[in-house]
Amino acid sequence: MDPRTSSAARLTWRACAAATLAASLPLVACTAADATPQSTTPATAAALGVVAAPAAGAAVKTTPIAKASKETTTHVHLREGASSGTRSLGVIPRGHVFSTSAKTANGWFKLSYAGKTGFVSPHYVRNFNAGLTKVGEKDYVTTQNGARDLWFTTRTATVTWKSLTFTVPSGTPVWKLGGAGKFKVNAGGYRNAVMTTSGLSRTSPAPASNTSKISLAAFKKLPVGNIPTKYLARTDFSTHALIGAPAVADLNALNKAFRARFGEDLYIDLGYRSSSQQRAIYRELGGWLAAKPGTSVHEKGLSFDTPEHGAYSWNSARFAWLVANAPKYGWEHPKRVHRYTSAGKLNPAREYWHFDYVGKGK
């Protein structure tokens, strides 16, 4: 609850705001979890009703733990010590992913953020799951979701997941999870889908460039969801996802710049989807996470998705960089999936993971 919504809380809000500004922190600190930012004066700390911070330089004992990836579940303070009574060093945004290898006796995790090292409460942190997103009672996952045994289809392949059956084109990346003859894979956004072992290769048969020389204007006239494979190409990085041939060179160039900035490849979760695949995903996920068949830009071969997790989320450095730099390479985060509408309201169709190709100079 926003602390400004009740008259009894307004004095606390005002004191918090005053202390926040004095400490050069953003006002979001007063609505963040563990919201008791402190100034350096004992009087302000007393006004907030919090325990005084320990002396500067006071050692905080930690215990080594196995290195783990964590994700913040809300805006939360990075504290100088392992309690909410210690000075705030800043506010860590929701969805921030970090690695930690130490925690205190009361469970607070030690980490570095924005050039400062401190502690965060375990109540606002969860284990980082690289890919799993809950949709109702059903698991919708990123294509890889931790699997490492990468294969590619060498022809149109049939994939079955529970009661859903769909086809994927030649050159589609799939990750083998086990089995013989018919084996489990991560494919098309589904974990533990089933397909046959025939027609698979360790290398993608898709071209790595626009070998057909088709123009973007001509490509846009191809049948949605049924694009001939000769007009699709694979990226030269990451998952080697399929994308419309006229867009692949610019996507490869975008990745080169991304790698220079972050020291790793841009992770492409999903690229082109066949109409069969779109129908299956729409049936399973409905109109929020999947567009109506025949209208998805994925079916047109001119969009990609990053993973649906914190490393690429709204407040992440990767997302901010992509929004600022993707247009240089003909890609954009389209307005229809922005976080907020033009009226400033939360957009029900928001997607931080989705980017479209519009071509350079657009």
Cα 280 → chain centroid: 23
Report pLDDT digits (tens) over 17-70: 444 444 444 444 555 566 544 433 433 333 333 333 444 445 788 888 887 778
Q: Which residue has the higher pLDDT, 85 or 5?
A: 85
pLDDT (0 to 100) of residue 154: 92
Closest by alpha carbon to 323, among 309, 312, 307? 312
312-to-1, 46, 81 alpha-carbon distances in Å: 27, 39, 29
Over the stretch 132-150, which tens digit does the pLDDT of each residue have? Answer: 333 332 344 455 656 678 8
Sheet containing 116-120: which strands, arranged edge to edge? 88-92, 76-79, 116-120, 109-113, 97-103, 63-72, 125-127
Closest CA to 78 of 92, 67, 96: 92
Q: Are strands 182-187 and 157-161 parallel, antiparallel or unpaired?
A: unpaired
Q: Under a CB-based contact definition with an 8 Å cutoff, are residues 141 and 156 in contact?
A: no
Digit-coded pLDDT (tens) for 123-132: 888 876 544 3
In degrees, rounded to 5, the angle at the alpha carbon of residue 354 between the alpha carbons of residues 348 and 359 is: 125
